[in-house]
Structure 1
Amino acid sequence: MLVRVDLPGRVVAQLEVPAGEVLVVIGPNGAGKSTLLRAVAGLERAAVRVGDDDWTDLPVPRRRIGYVFQDQSLFPHLSAVANVEFGPRSRGVPRREARARARHWLDRFGIGDLADRGPGQLSGGQAQRVALARALATDPQVLLLDEPFTGLDTTAATSLRIELSQHLRDFAGVTLLVTHDAIDALTLADRVLVLDGGVVAQVGRPEEVAARPQTAHVARLVGLNVVRLGDELVTFSPSAVNVSVREPEGSPRLRWYGTVATLAPHGDALRVLVRGETDLIADVTHAAAAELGLVAGRDVWLSVKATAVSREGTTARGR
């Protein structure tokens, strides 16, 4: 199914999205991710086509969409079950059938026992499950998810991500999921779309985009260092970075000077964030960190062998 959005000066995207596919949309702030979803939903004036249908002048209530916002946007005066049945009712489904459909979806998300609670009586994870149930209860053609795990703690986000993955496997429509988290792209996406400056910069399977990022934002998102050298961007792994307290010698090395900002466990190593003219990350062993006296505020030199730098798949774009 072809989904085309043309919002002059802001977003231009033509996507071939097969029914049943989850397309995860990533990109830097201001790239047009949420605007893309709002345009499909009819909340932004734009030329929109979905399959053979022209949605440009189609009123919002007539668009077969389910929409989950970052803040859930549940109706505060309605119970969980009333929130979920609102969508079907607004599309003309009889009250009894809408209520049955709402309870079915609450049960599927494991919160059927919370049906009579108001949004203020729900945890963040429970409220987001209600929001997802409300979106799916409308039997949408296009499911729009705008950073659905924002604001949830790690445990709640991980649990909900697993549940959502299971539900999306059974969803026959198209899913567009906006996120800033690489975990979502790598675990939920059939394909990843990268927006930059309102246009499509890259589309591919998650592993392809991660292996050959074509924008600086994506490179950073998947845990790579990205540095501009002249008119091109180069990338390299944190494990390829050598950390020292003295300026390194030898011509084959690229080098940078900076100050340690943070140190955090990363597998068996420590991930060190160094701020300077270019912010970089390096993975070092605990022993090396102790030997070098790495603490926040310590000035260090970073270096990378030229052979560890990749230029393939990068461009001069980047934010």
Structure 2
Amino acid sequence: MTGLHADLTVPGRLVAQVHAAPGRVVAVIGPNGAGKSTLLGALAGTVAATGRVEVGGRDWTDLPVRERRLGVVFQDRSLFPHLRAHEDVAFGLRTRGVPRRDAERRARDWLDRLGVGDLAERRPAELSGGQAQRVAIARALATEPDLLLLDEPFAGLDVGVATGLRIELARHLAAYAGVVLLVTHDALDALTLADEVLVLDEGRVVQTGSPREVAAHPRTEHVARLVGLNVVREGETLRSFAPSAVTVSPRGAGSGPAPTSARNRWAGRVAALAPHGDAVRLLVTTTRGPELIADVTPAAAVELGLDPGAEVWLSVKETAVQTDSMRP
């Protein structure tokens, strides 16, 4: 297999080049409307596009959808409501010419691998969201596709269910020989499942790199916020910094004079606070600029009276600020 090589244009919606070696997982991230679903549809052949798509050394450009060695897992699972789980998984195999008995055996084997073999006789209405998604993943992997498209596979699942499924999926993807494109809004998916990250914004690829590279040097506001950084935009430049780098001090009567430097100091009001690991995370609405987040110790939160509505100063040392251009 030679992986994925695509150069696609969907007029008014997408202009993208995508390259990935066999066995690689590419996380596709970006804000709503960035073109993520359009990209998946263009690769699958369900969205009309110009350009070229090559997968596994085979030209897919004009290939009908049914002839593409493709697996897809949708947000809503898209299981057939009238089929039992084993029948649903076997369906894709049967459409590729696998004899019924072999298709049934392989379907049940994949259900066992995904931990839902005991649910093989159930229909979708009898499955939980997590169980249904495991069946959908089994269906996609059972056909041994050259390209696997995962469209937010953990969306709508409880945190605990999503965590278990993420671990299970990572194990199977580690042994998968094809190329995976994973559309996600969750930084954890990109950091734990992906080998590479592709960032889309307004229908164009604006950044690629390893998960750590993209997280350390985000080139869009969406990515910076996705990985939990504060973002201050200055023209075409992003200045980002971690919540732990923010110093919080009280503001108002009896709290001392206002700071004199303006660049990395903001006046604001605590909008909300919540536990965050060993810290307390504050959401602060500033009087000039964006909402910012800051992490303080529980003791500091009590000592400084950081309740909702409290007026505060936020400050960040220049050495803690990362500056990046927004576009390549």
Please, which moves more after superposition, 142-151 or 260-269? 260-269
Cα separation, partners in 2 of 1:166 and 1:92, compared to 1, 3 Å: same
Q: Deviations over 1:105-158 (max 9, x none)?
A: 001111111100011111111100000001111111100000101111111111
- Mapped contact 2:4–2:22 kept (Cα < 8 A): no
Return the alpha-carbon distance in structure 1 between the equivalents of residues 54 and 82 of structure 2. Answer: 34
Residue equivalent to 2:283: 273
> Is 1:3 the counterpart of 2:13 in the alignment?
no
Please, which moves more after superposition, 192-201 or 224-233? 224-233
* Secondary structure at the counterpart of residue 129 of structure 1: helix
Return the alpha-carbon distance in structure 2 between the equivalents of residues 310 and 240 of structure 1. Answer: 11
Residue equivalent to 2:254: none
| Percent sequence identity over aligned pairs | 65
Shift of residue 259 of structure 1? 2.8
Aligned residue among 118, 127, 141 for 1:136? 141
Aligned residue among 68, 80, 98 for 2:73? 68
> Is 1:155 the counterpart of 2:160 in the alignment?
yes
Regions of 4+ moved over 3 Å? 51-54
Map 1:1-319 to 2 at 5 A: 1-4=3-6, 5-47=8-50, 48-51=52-55, 52-246=57-251, 248-251=258-261, 254-276=264-286, 277-311=289-323, 314-316=324-326
- Mapped contact 1:253–1:305 kept (Cα < 8 A): no
- Mapped contact 1:2–1:14 kept (Cα < 8 A): no
Return the alpha-carbon distance in structure 1 between the equivalents of residues 124 and 267 of structure 2. Answer: 50
- Mapped contact 2:89–2:136 kept (Cα < 8 A): yes
Return the alpha-carbon distance in structure 1 between the equivalents of residues 234 and 276 of structure 2. Answer: 28
Q: Which amino acid aligns with 2:299?
A: A
Return the alpha-carbon distance in structure 2 between the equivalents of residues 273 and 295 of structure 1. Answer: 11
Shift of residue 241 of structure 1? 1.1
Return the alpha-carbon distance in structure 2 between the equivalents of residues 100 and 203 of structure 1. Answer: 40
Shift of residue 211 of structure 1? 1.1
Shift of residue 252 of structure 1? 7.0
Return the alpha-carbon distance in structure 2 between the equivalents of residues 316 and 170 of structure 1. Answer: 35
Return the alpha-carbon distance in structure 1 between the equivalents of residues 64 and 75 of structure 2. Answer: 23
Cα separation, partners in 2 of 1:248 and 1:81, compared to 1, 3 Å: farther
- Structure 2 unmatched runs, 5+: 252-256
Q: Which amino acid aligns with 1:49?
A: V
Q: Which amino acid aligns with 2:271?
A: A
Shift of residue 316 of structure 1? 3.9
Shift of residue 231 of structure 1? 4.0
- Give the total of aligned pairs: 316
Q: Deviations over 1:202-253 (max 9, x none)?
A: 1111111111111111111111111013442111111111222327413275
Return the alpha-carbon distance in structure 2 between the equivalents of residues 29 and 83 of structure 1. Answer: 31
Return the alpha-carbon distance in structure 2 between the equivalents of residues 316 and 149 of structure 1. Answer: 29
Q: Deviations over 1:251-292 (max 9, x none)?
A: 275222333222121222111111344011101111111122
* Secondary structure at the counterpart of residue 89 of structure 1: helix
